[in-house]
Amino acid sequence: MYRTVITGIGVVSPLGSDLDTFWSNLITGVNGIGQISRFDTTNFPVTIAAEVQGFNVDEFIDRKEQRRTDAFSHYAIAAARMAIADSGFDTSAGDPFRHGCIISSGIGGIVTTENEILKLQERGPSRVSPFCIPQILVNMPSGLVAIEHNLKGANFAVVSACASGLHSIGDAMHIIKRGEADMMLAGGCEASIGPIGVAGFAALHALSRRNDDPAAASRPFDKDRDGFVIGEGGTVLVLEEYEHAKKRSAKIYAEIVSIGQTCDAFHMTAPSDDGSGFARAIKHALDAAEVNASEVDYINAHGTSTPMNDRTETKAIKVGLGEDNARKTMISSTKSMLGHMLGAAGAIESAVCALAVKNGVIPPTINYTTPDPDCDLDYVPNTAREAEVNVCLNNSLGFGGHNACALFKKV
């Protein structure tokens, strides 16, 4: 079977929109959360979010095309271009039918949807944009990136809420492993910081209401956590067949070896309290990679900062790795700094795993001040840690009970 390695990373995020800035801010514990600037939050119960920082869309998309596309597509287009540049992969060379793309979103163009509905109600159907439908489609970022880079291989989007980005990377990995592609772009994008997005998640009581202290609002695994902070952005990875990458002397961040995928089949929004579904996903990832649980050095946790998720994920890690191995494994939630980027979360956290393997640094879980008896593992609190990372896992969970766990290794 063929092997899949990561040779390029592109990031648009609340901690910066180039790879060096993003990584530097992440490992120094910079917080990307603040007051919402996109719309008037008067009368909203939640007024904080993790908005994209340092991103100039004009550098990537001309003004005419910007008007025809939603922000979630902008993030994907930019991240894909940066990932290709980082990889040095020449998309004009080789067989375009062996180059593919899977870029996904959990929600898609929700801000465009809201704006166009307002136009319809206030000004009538003739004022609705002719680009409304392509703007909001979840598959459109993947299609637009393929058009720009002439990628004629497998191309689609995965929708599994907050597991979408990681499922996309897993699917792309399998396509390469089956010998169907030499290169796949894979990742996720999201731009849901708008009135209906914030109001909807707030109505679920899923969001932190620490409006007066946004820097401390996202606090995964901490006893005083009260919900997640909505984030946005996009991340795209260049996944490449190992021998193909080696032949062109490509820089390799890490190998993605396997993905475990299960469903809780329990509840629309809540994880199964015993963590059994996610524990099985962890075990599947280990078994498929033929890796022993004792070999796992680091886990980038889903770690949303909601009371139930963090408790359940801790249980799942203990069951999936075994209690003794779980206690020896370093775990961190970068959502403490990035907020929850929803459908892009699994993609940016895969990038974090690849960078941790490459650079030997574990990002911290910031805002960890009060231990929770139900969350009693090593969450790398507040300060990054230098450590050799040979094997790491990336955890992603999504509304609907979707679970994914990917395993990355040093090459």
Q: How large is the angle between the packed helices 195-203 and 110-123, nearest 10 degrees? A: 110
Query: E strands along 181-220, which residues?
Result: 183-190
pLDDT tens, residue by residue, 93-120: 999 999 999 999 999 999 999 999 999 9
Q: Are residues 197 and 321 in the same domain?
A: no
Q: Are residues 62 and 175 in the same domain?
A: yes
The pLDDT, as a whole number, for residue 182 is 98
Residue 159 domain flag: yes
d(CA 30, CA 172): 31
Asked if 267 is an active-site residue, the reply is no
- CATH code of residue 329: 3.40.47.10
Given a cut of 80, whether residue 297 has pLDDT beyond it is yes
pLDDT tens, residue by residue, 40-50: 999 999 999 99
* Contact by Cβ (8 Å): 235, 10: yes
Q: Are residues 8 and 157 in the same domain?
A: yes
d(CA 307, CA 220): 9
Q: Are residues 177 and 221 in the same domain?
A: yes
Average pLDDT, the chain: 97
What value does the mean pLDDT take over residues 253-273? Answer: 92
Residue 253 domain flag: no
pLDDT tens, residue by residue, 164-204: 999 999 999 999 999 999 999 999 999 999 999 999 999 99
Q: Which of 101, 162, 353, 375 is catalytic?
A: 162
Residue 127 domain flag: yes
Tokens of 357: 């393997």
Structural domain for 121, as ranges = 4-247
* Contact by Cβ (8 Å): 182, 2: no
Quote the number of domains for the chain. Answer: 2
Residue 252 domain flag: no
Q: Are residues 194 and 271 in the same domain?
A: no
Count of all residues that appear for the chain in the document? 411
Tokens of 92: 């004009």
Given a cut of 80, whether residue 39 has pLDDT beyond it is yes
Given a cut of 90, whether residue 162 has pLDDT beyond it is yes
CB hemisphere CA count around 65 (13 angstroms): 12
* Contact by Cβ (8 Å): 271, 396: no
Q: Which of 244, 340, 353, 405 is catalytic?
A: 340
Q: Are residues 223 and 276 in the same domain?
A: no
What value does the mean pLDDT take over residues 297-315? Answer: 97
Q: Are residues 109 and 198 in the same domain?
A: yes
Given a cut of 80, whether residue 1 has pLDDT beyond it is no
Q: Are residues 265 and 187 in the same domain?
A: no
Q: Are residues 290 and 346 in the same domain?
A: yes
Asked if 353 is an active-site residue, the reply is no
Query: pTM above 0.95?
Result: yes
Q: Are residues 71 and 174 in the same domain?
A: yes
Helix (H) or strand (E) holding 326: helix 323-328
Q: Which of 167, 244, 302, 402 is catalytic?
A: 302
Residue 393 domain flag: yes
Asked if 162 is an active-site residue, the reply is yes
What value does the mean pLDDT take over residues 12-33? Answer: 98
Given a cut of 90, whether residue 271 has pLDDT beyond it is no
